[in-house]
A and B are shown apart, each in its own frame.
Chain A
Amino acid sequence: MDVKDYRKRYEADLAAHAASTAASLRPSGVAAAAAVVDATQQRLMEIKRVPSDRADLSKKIQALLATLGNEKESTVVRLAALKALGAATFLGENFAPYHADYLNTLRQIARPGTDPQLCEAALGVLAAEKDPDTQKLLQRGLEDAKFALVPPAKALQLLSYDDHANISELALSLFNQTDDLGVKEAALRVLATDAKSQDLFAKLLEDKSQPVSLRTLSATGLNFLNPQRFADVARAIVMDDSESEDIRASSLGALASAPDNRALQDDSGFHDRVKELGADNSLKDLSVAARRMIAKP
């Protein structure tokens, strides 16, 4: 992840949302005078209303399930029903009688032809439930794009909700086949739970020609799977002046947070270099990371 780019995109999303909220609240003359309330808005407000009585709650859940499963309803209303049902799942025993219907309704939605946004939302809930049929659907879409219900990066993310889904081989295969950086990133996140990925992570981390996001994910993955091996590679990166400053700062930051960095503290060559980096005014994040490393007790 490029943090600066991510921040820009997120701040733009926030600004767009704030603008749209302000626009929807602005009285638009005629509408304000006539006090016309949009039917959809009224519908959404009704969906959000939580009944206080248990019997009403039961009726409400059934009505929400009907709305969610009704293909004639608009996507925005069905999504609101899905959101309300998601909240209702926290009601424990009050929701338990409807749980099976809830999943069945979602399975009916998670199929070709459904609005993509609604389909993805349904798949997200089912994947979080570790629904085997959904996992098969997602895997099938990754193996053959014509069956894909969601983009490959999203499918990998949804499959990764289940640690026992055994998708490492598929993720590795996708990583090797695709040129899409987003898919490669998603594949590496999946592979971070597979001990067999150590060699791949070490190779990517050492390869200066790889995109920074893949090297950063590799650093995280290797640090998780084999902290000692990560420390060896990260030490070499920190000492290498030809490396990118971002990668050196990330590596140094991870080394500073390592639970046992005594071996590095006894490494006088490394320690002297970190002190030099900490005193180098021309560096930014790397210098800060170096000073944090030095400040560690």
Chain B
Amino acid sequence: MLHANVDRLWAKWQWVKHRENSTNPAAYAPPSPPRIGHNLGDTVWPWNGITGKPRPPTAPGGPFPATVVTPLPGQTPKVQDMFDHLGVVGANSLGYAYDDVPFELQPMVVAAGP
């Protein structure tokens, strides 16, 4: 529940600031010093199956399970795959939503038109 609430607060911040795009420098601060699992392109334990320091000694559960709801985030999710949970920037959502975080296109997308 704690983790879900942290994710909700992040999602709300992203919505308020329009920071759903992982390539937007304002949406993400790289860790300093660099840490495995904290960089945009890092795969996420345990679904990547990688074990041993600095990761835990086992990786139970196998790859990330597929769902009929959405093709994302794939079998081996990366950190950058978790930014756009409602599909504001990409074509697909992550298949969940929060009551107080609405879907809203980014202003420049709406203003730019076709």
Contacts and interface: CB of A to CB of B under 8 A. Distances in A.
Contacts of B113: 281, 284, 287
A7 interface: yes
A259 B92 CA distance: 10
B114 interface: yes
A167 B109 CA distance: 41
A7 B17 CA distance: 11
Nearest to B103: A253
Given A257-B70, A257-B87, A259-B68, A285 B110 contact: yes
Interface in B4-55: 16
Interface string A1-38: 10100110011001000000000000000000000000
A253 to B, nearest CB: 7
Given A285-B105, A287-B114, A257 B16 contact: no
B2 A3 contact: no
Contact of B102 (A6, A256, A257, A287): A6
Nearest to B71: A297
Task: Give the bracket for the number of chain A residues in contact with chain B.
Answer: 20 to 34
A221 interface: no
Task: Give the bracket for the number of chain B residues in contact with chain A.
Answer: 10 to 19
A281 B91 contact: no
Contacts of A11: 16
B114 A295 contact: no
Given A10-B16, A257-B70, A288 B91 contact: no
A279 interface: yes
Interface in A265-297: 278-279, 281, 284-285, 287-288, 291-292, 295-296
Contacts of A278: 114
Contacts of A10: 16
Given A281-B114, A295-B91, A3 B102 contact: yes
Nearest to A256: B91
B76 interface: no
Interface string B72-114: 0000000000000001000111000001001111000110011
Contacts of A253: 103
Nearest to A282: B113
Given A10-B16, A257-B93, A259-B69, A288 B102 contact: no
A6 B98 CA distance: 14
Interface in A247-263: 253, 256-257, 259-260
A14 B16 contact: yes
Contacts of B69: 259
B6 to A, nearest CB: 13
Residue in B2, B70, B87, B91 whose Cβ sees the most chain A Cβ within 10 Å: B91
Given A7-B16, A278-B114, A285-B110, 11 more contacts: A10-B16, A14-B16, A257-B92, A259-B68, A259-B70, A260-B68, A285-B105, A287-B114, A288-B109, A288-B110, A291-B114
| Top 9 closest pairs, chain A to chain B, by CB | A259-B68, A3-B102, A3-B104, A284-B110, A281-B113, A295-B91, A259-B69, A292-B91, A1-B102
Interface of B: 2, 16, 68-70, 87, 91-93, 99, 102-105, 109-110, 113-114
15 contacts: A3-B102, A6-B102, A7-B104, A90-B2, A259-B68, A259-B70, A260-B68, A281-B114, A284-B110, A285-B105, A285-B110, A288-B105, A288-B109, A292-B91, A295-B91
